[in-house]
């Protein structure tokens, strides 16, 4: 992939995260990436083509940052869970505005309308839950999948509330509750 194509994908990722896929217009992309239509169509056949590349970009980033660098390390299960929660908070604290989870946003916006988007988002959520299930098997023993699904649902729900209220303390409270339940034993 060329550097310019990667720059366009990265610029568009920020737009889609902030505005959503449907609300991001081609003119927004051209302006943010500082390109013309000809250059856009040199790299992408359509906005949808670029949108799918953006989802792949998010997946690659989260696979590395969350799954490989946190959940699949040699750290203890307690450390992995605690680090994941801290990572989620830090991820949202670094945003100028709290736009929410890119996967949660895309799941809400696109899952019913575009099967390719749905499958890609589903793939990342599946990998996250599966990796967390392995962590939870060390912490709880029985029914680790249910615990992993519950934690992801709590985090995504907390992120949705945080986004709506524009208040990071909501996500911090959710993380504290998860820590209290699983890490204070």
Paired tokens of 184:
């204070």
Domains of the chain: 48-183 (1.10.357.10)
- DSSP for residue 25: -
Cβ atoms of residues 43 and 4 within 8 Å: yes
Predicted local distance difference test score (pLDDT) of residue 1? 57
pLDDT in tens, 52-86: 999 999 999 999 999 999 999 999 999 999 999 99
Residue 185: predicted pLDDT: 66
For residue 70, with 0-12 CB atoms within 10 Å meaning exposed, 13-18 middle and 19 or more buried, which class applies?
Answer: buried
pLDDT for the residue numbered 27: 96
């Amino acid at each position: 992939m060329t550097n310019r194509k990667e720059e366009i994908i990265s610029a568009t990722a920020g737009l889609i995260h902030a505005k959503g896929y449907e609300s991001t217009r081609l003119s927004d992309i051209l302006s943010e990436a500082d390109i013309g239509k000809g250059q856009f169509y040199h790299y992408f056949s359509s906005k949808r083509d670029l949108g799918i590349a953006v989802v792949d970009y998010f997946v690659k980033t989260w696979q590395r940052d969350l799954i490989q660098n946190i959940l699949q390390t040699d750290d203890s299960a307690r450390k992995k869970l605690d680090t994941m929660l801290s990572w989620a908070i830090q991820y949202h604290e670094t945003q100028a505005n709290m736009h929410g989870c890119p996967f949660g946003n895309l799941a809400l916006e696109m899952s019913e309308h575009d099967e390719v988007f749905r499958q890609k988002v589903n793939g990342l959520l599946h990998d996250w839950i599966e990796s967390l299930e392995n962590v939870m098997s060390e912490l709880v023993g029985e029914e680790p999948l249910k615990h992993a699904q519950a934690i992801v649902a709590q985090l995504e729900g907390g992120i949705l509330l945080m986004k709506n209220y524009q208040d990071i303390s909501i996500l911090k409270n959710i993380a504290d509750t998860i820590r209290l339940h699983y890490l204070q034993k």
